[in-house]
Amino acid sequence: MSQAKTISTEEFNRLLLRLGRSRNAVRNQTMIYMTHWSGMRVGEIASLKIKDVINKDGSIKPEVHLSATQTKGNSSRSVMVPKKLQDALLKYMATIWTTNLERSLFISARTGGGFTSNSLGNLMKSFYVNAGIDNGSSHSGRRTFITTLARKGVSARVLQSLAGHKHLGTTQRYIDINDEMRQEAAELI
């Protein structure tokens, strides 16, 4: 099975522009931000409840604690929520009208209930297709997240922790290397 595509800045902006014109624009953009800005897996996003991301005072949590049942490896983990993602989540929260903190964070317009991992993965795949991005998938955001941070000099061990991987080798497979990165590294001498 081939790896998910790493998305360029131009493709990311095109994706957001396309989603901005979609029926559930704020929800759709926020789900994409979750993958690109926190590295969350699609199944983790589908499993989120409102209480997972919002504090009792209505502010957005700077760290989301995922239970073992919400993660791929059945090991609980924490996901850091950068300020720009907190802002996007706050904007999204203003669009939903509920006080039920047990409700799924993201609701399917088709079913009226929360997404499954598969249904959200399929929806995200359609986002990339509709934006004209070949081979984009729900995992592209996660791969882009890890590659972008690696390019900015974040150590592999920190990346492993952010990704929630048990093995460093798994994290390293996510990092796309290109000629520009190799040249930048060589110039550090």
Reported as a single tens digit per residue, the pLDDT across 119-150 is 999 999 999 999 999 999 999 998 998 888 88
Cβ(25)–Cβ(19) below 8 Å: yes
Per-residue confidence (pLDDT) for residue 3, from 0 to 100? 78
Q: Is the pLDDT of residue 170 over 80?
A: no
What is the set of domains in the chain, with CATH numbers?
9-141 (1.10.443.10)
Whether 97 has a pLDDT exceeding 90, the answer reads: no
Q: Can you name the residues that pair with 96 across neighbouring β-strands?
A: none
Q: What pLDDT shows up at residue 122?
A: 96
Helix, strand, coil percentages in the chain from 3-state DSSP, rounded to 5: 50, 5, 40
Query: At CA 73, angle to CA 70 and CA 75, rounded to 5?
Result: 70
